[in-house]
Amino acid sequence: MKDVSLGAVTVSGDWMFDIPLSLRDIKRHFMVESLEGFGCGDLTLAIGAAGALLKYLKDTQRSPLRNIDVISSYRASQFMAIDRNSQRHLELVRNQDDLSSKGTLLEVLDETKTPMGKRRLKRWMLNPLLDTGAINDRLDAVQHLHDNGDRRGKVRGFLGGIYDIERLSNKISMGSASARDMIALGVSLRSTEKLRDVLTGGMPAALKDIVLGLGDFKDVTGWIESCLVEDPPNALKEGGLIKGGYDPGVDELRTLVAGGKDWVARLQKREIERTGIGSLKVGFNKVFGYYIEVTKTNLAAVPPDYIRKQTLVNAERFVTPGLKEQESRIIGAQERVKNREYEIFCRLRDKVGSEIERLKRAADRIADLDVLSGLAEAAVKNRYSRPEVNTGGDLRIVEGRHPVLEKIMKDKEFVPNDVRMDAGDNRIFIITGSNMAGKSTFMRQVALITIMAQMGSFVPALEAEIGVVDRVFTRVGASDRLYRGMSTFMVEMLETANILNNATGRSLIILDEIGRGTSTFDGVSIAWAVVEFIHHRIPGAKTMFATHYHELTELTGITRGIKNYHLAVREWGEEIVFLYKVKEGNCNESFGISVAKLAGMPAGVVKRAREILANLQKDSFMGNVRSRFSENEAPGGKQFDLSEDPLSEHPLIEKIKAVDTDRLTPLEALSMLAELKEEAGDSS
C-alpha cells in the first residue's frame, strides 16, 4: 500500500535550517528582540525548523504573511503520545482499507458544523491531554451542553451559519480574498454575535473563556455590509461590487453610464424615424463597440453620414460621428467605475485584514465550541457517559462498548464488557479465546475509551474511571512493507521493539498475536519473553496481550500482576457460538478449525484438519510449561543465534542440515524432533 501520510515533499538545502539565520528571520518577522516571550528561545533545533518553514512560505506565497502573527512551541509533555502505527491500528482518523475516515473514531465523533471544528476535533483526537484539570474543563463544558439541550441546539444552529473564518481571514490578510469571501466573513461574524447572546449565564469555565474570546465584531460587519452588495460577482475588476450610496464617485459614474445607455435607446428610435428602416438596431460588443445595424435589404435607405464598420452575412454595421463620441464617454465611464469599485474593495479588504488577530482568536474559540458541542451531541445520540479522569493508576470501565463497531452493527446488539486494571495485581492481562470471539475488539475499545476520555469526550460505557495514560501503544494484526524490504514478521518485531523501548509505567499497551509470524517454538518464546520484559522492566504499564499461545497462561501462576482472561464461547457438538463476553480464566482451545468452517473452507479440508489436530494433540509439546520457560535454563537449551559465529558446531547441526524438509511429512517431522530432543538430552 502506498504510504500517503508523507504527502508532497520539497527538498531544501541545509542553509535553510541555519539556526542564526532562522533566528534573525523569525525575530524580524515578528518584530521582536528575543523569542523568550514566546517560550521557545532555548529550542535551537525548533528555531532552525521554524525559520526554514518561514522562508518556504515567503518564497511560495509571495506575500507579507501578516496572518502569521504568533509562534508557540509544542511540548510532548502536554499530550498523550500515539505513534503513527497505533493511530493506524486503532483507525482513529483513517481506516486501513482506503485511508478514508469511513469506519473510524473520527467519523463516529464528528458532529461538527464548521471546517474549523472538524480540523480541531482531529487535532484533539490525535493529541489527548495529560493535565487532568484541562481534561475536566473540557468535560465540564461537554456536560453542560449535554444536559442543556435547548442551548446546545441553538449553539449548533448558529454554528451552521459560520464559514471557515480561519481560512477566510488568512485570504483577506494575504490580499487574495474575493468580495464573496468578504460577504461570507460578514455572515459568519453575525452568527458569532448570536452565539455570544446564547452563551450567557451559568456556564463552566471553558465556555466562559470561549465567550470572552469571541469578541465584538459590529464594526467589521458594519464595514462589510455598508460597502458591498449582498450577492457580488466573482470577478473583482468588472464592477457591481459596491452598494449604491456608499461612494459619491461611484454613484456619479454609474449615473453617467446609465444616462449613456438611455441616450443609445433614444438614438435608435430617432434613426428609425429618420431613415424609415423599422428593423434598424443600435447594439454593442466588446470588439467593435457601439454600432448601427441595417439589414442588406434596406441598404438603399442608409443616410450618407453613416460610416461602414463591419459586414455580416445578412446585414451591414455602421457608425456615425455622434455615436463614436458618445461611445467614448460611456466606455470611459464604465472603465472608471470598475477601477473605482476595485480600489474601494481593496481598501475595505486591507482594513478588515488589519483585524487579523481578532479574527483568528474568534476562529480559535469557535473551533473549540464546535468540537465541545459536537461531542455533547455525539454523547446524546450514542448514549455515552462522562468518565472520571484522575492521576491515579486505575483503569476501570463498566459495560464498555466499541464506539465504531456498535455503530456499524445496526441490526445486532453490541455485547458490553467490564475491565479493571491497575498498577499492581491487575496490570497485565493474557487474553485467550477463539478467533472471531472478540479479543481484538475488546482490547481496542479499552484503548479508544481511554483516548476519548483524555481528549475530553464522554465515552461508550456505563461508568469509566481513567487514570491518565501518557502513551497508548498498539500492535494489532498482520501487515508487511514489501516496498521497504520488510516482511510481515519483521514489521511485527519492529513495532513490538518500538513499544518495549518507549513505553513507560503510565502507558497502555495493546498487543495482539505477538510471535505468530514465525515458528511455533520461536513465537511462543518471543511472546513469553515480551510479557516478562514488560512485567520486569516497565513496572506499572497496563498491558493487554491477546494470544493463541496458551502456554502464556502459565505466567499467572509464576508472576504477580498477570491475570488470565478469555472470550467465552459455547460449544454445540462441532459448532461454536460466540458470546463476546470477557471472563476471568484461560481458554485452552482456539477453535480455529470451526472458524475455518464458518469461512466456507471445503468440508474435506475441515475434516482432515480435525484428524491431524487429534494426532498432534496426542503428542503435544505443552507438558510442564513452567519448566520449559524457566529463567534457569538447562545447558544446551539455547537457540542457535544467527548473529553468532561459534568456534565449533554442535554434533546435531550436521544431522539437521541433512534433513530434506521439502519431502518431510508432519508425522516424520514430529518423530525426528523427538529423536533430536533425545540426542540433545544425552549430549548435555
pLDDT tens figures, 466-492: 999 999 999 876 555 544 556 778 888
| pLDDT for the residue numbered 333 | 83
Whole-angstrom CA distances from 678 to 3, 459, 615, 673 are 50, 56, 21, 9
Q: Which of 99-113, 421-435, 473-487, 576-590 has the highest mean pLDDT?
A: 99-113
pLDDT range class, residue 612, cuts 50, 70, 90: low
Q: Alpha helices, DSSP H only, in 481-541? A: 488-502, 520-537
pLDDT at residue 128 is higher than 80: yes
Whole-angstrom CA distances from 41 to 17, 18, 29, 33, 165 are 16, 15, 15, 11, 31
| pLDDT for the residue numbered 387 | 98
What CATH number is given for 248-347 in this structure?
Answer: 1.10.1420.10
pLDDT tens figures, 531-567: 999 999 999 999 999 988 888 888 888 889 999 998 8
State which fold the 1-73 domain adopts: Nucleotidyltransferase; domain 5 (3.30.420)
User: In terms of C-beta density within 10 A (0-12 exposed, 13-18 middle, 19 or more buried), how is residue 617 classed?
Assistant: exposed
Taking the CA atoms of 338, 343, 344 and 349 in sequence, report the sign of the dihedral they define.
positive
3-state DSSP helix/strand/coil % of the chain, to nearest 5:
50, 15, 35
* More confidently predicted of 589 and 114: 114
Average pLDDT estimate for 240-264: 86
pLDDT at residue 433 is higher than 70: yes
| pLDDT for the residue numbered 117 | 97
**Three state DSSP letters for 70-94:** CCCCCCHHHECECCHHHHHHHCCCC
pLDDT at residue 574 is higher than 70: no
Cell of 283: 447594439
Cell of 351: 482594513
Among left, alpha and beta (phi > 0; psi -120 to 50; other), residue 57 is: alpha
Taking the CA atoms of 139, 140, 143 and 149 in sequence, report the sign of the dihedral they define.
negative
| pLDDT for the residue numbered 507 | 96
Average pLDDT estimate for 12-26: 81
| pLDDT for the residue numbered 522 | 83
Residue count of the chain, please give it. 684
Q: Closest Cα partner for 272 from 251, 293, 250?
A: 293
| pLDDT for the residue numbered 682 | 58
Average pLDDT estimate for 53-69: 76
> Of 3.40.50.300, 3.30.450.20, 3.30.70.20, 3.40.190.10, which CATH number belongs to 388-628?
3.40.50.300
pLDDT at residue 663 is higher than 50: yes
| pLDDT for the residue numbered 634 | 45
User: Do residues 318 and 307 make contact, with C-beta atoms less than 8 angstroms apart?
Assistant: yes
- DSSP 3-state of 341: helix
Pair type for strands 508-512 and 472-475: parallel
Q: Which residues contact 93 (CB under 8 A, 6 or more apart)?
A: 87, 101, 104, 105, 106, 122, 125, 126
